[in-house]
Amino acid sequence: MNIEQFTSSLEEKGISLSPFQLEQFETYYEWLVEWNEKINLTSITEKKEVYLKHFYDSITASFYVDFNKLNSLCDVGAGAGFPSLPIKICFPHLHVTIVDSLNKRINFLNQLSDALKLENTAFYHDRAETFGRLKDKRESFDVVTARAVARLSVLSELCLPLVKKNGLFLALKAASAEEEIEAGKKAIKVLGGQIEAVHSFQLPIEESDRNIIVVKKESQTPKKYPRKPGTPNKSPIEG
């Protein structure tokens, strides 16, 4: 996906990028490739691939959820900043918080944020399990995102405790999500969520499958969740 295709594909979805925003994506790409030589951020480094599989793919969440109506976003295990930072570039009003367990990545994101001249961004070196228990963070975000971090039953325990009541949890998944959804239903319910929609589509050009699972937070998450670091992964809430 070259820059013209990227711009026109977003235009079709009602997202018009200014010269400054396009410059931000260019800077993002340059930083990603440069830092990737120092720390492992991504296996995708070819420019057309980055624009399609990282930038465009991240922004697809906004085709199904109106970010103009939301104020705060928390991205769990964002790695190199996906999906939250491409969304932030398109919707600059958002207050974005990223939680990642690797300090090297947080260091990269802090410096990247300055280079992109982003405002209202915060980066935390923490495990989602402990971050979700912090009083000022728990149940405080309009939307929480996670992109292919873990299976849905595990992700729900890492993300739903951070979502405020009536807020959304968005799980961005690559391949077919049917089995994961089936296995994750119990966890979602226990944690106070309800699956509102599953959007399945293909990325343009290469036509690879994508799924966005939209979970609405309907009631408070019981205090005992999230459990200790590592526990959700070892023994997910399934049944």
Tell me if 129 is assigned to a ligand binding site: yes
Alpha helices by DSSP H, the chain: 3-12, 19-36, 47-50, 57-59, 61-64, 84-90, 103-115, 128-131, 152-159, 178-190, 231-234
Q: How far apart are the first and last CA of the chain?
A: 41
What stretch of H or E contains 145? strand 141-147
Helix orientation angle between 3-12 and 19-36, rounded to the nearest 10 degrees = 130
Distance CA(26)–CA(115), nearest Å, equals: 11
Tell me if 128 is assigned to a ligand binding site: yes
**Total Cβ atoms within 10 A of residue 159:** 33
Tell me if 61 is assigned to a ligand binding site: no
Sign, CA dihedral 233-237-238-239, equals positive
Tokens matching residue 212: 């966005």
Look up residue 83 and give its amino acid: P
Tell me if 147 is assigned to a ligand binding site: yes
Q: How far is CA 96 from the centre of its chain?
A: 10
Tokens matching residue 129: 């399990």
- Residue 81, SS3 per DSSP: coil
Residue positions forming the annotated binding site: 77, 82, 128-129, 147
Residue positions forming the annotated binding site for S-adenosyl-L-methionine: 77, 82, 128-129, 147
